[in-house]
Structure 1
Amino acid sequence: MKQHLPATLLALSLASILSACVTINIYFPAAAAEKAADRLIDEVWQVKERNGMSEPAATESETK
């Protein structure tokens, strides 16, 4: 049993590190994309407010 302990610990450590890397790659880009989308929406609203438009124009699907 004691002979397999270092190999088991190494395998568990590598599995933990690998899963942490995968988690970081999945969640952080999603957060960055959400921030970029929020900035874009804010910029669009600012442009419309400068042009005197207070509400977004209705899309074609909303008018039907």
Structure 2
Amino acid sequence: MKPVSTWAAMLSLSLAMAGCVTINIYFPAAAAEKAADRIIDEVWQLKPDAATKEGAPSR
């Protein structure tokens, strides 16, 4: 077996180090909860007759 060249070893080490980088993004919990509540409210405010207009069977 041939010894690994210095260039290949440095490249491997650089790739391994780059793979270990983690980017953490922190969101304020209150803001995330408020946004989730707003989305849920928008979804639940759909009109009941919207389902029947789209061809869903009515009961």
TM-score bracket for this pair, using the shorter chain length:
0.3 to 0.5
Give TM-score scaled by structure 1 length: 0.40
Give TM-score scaled by structure 2 length: 0.42
Q: Which has the higher helix share?
A: 1
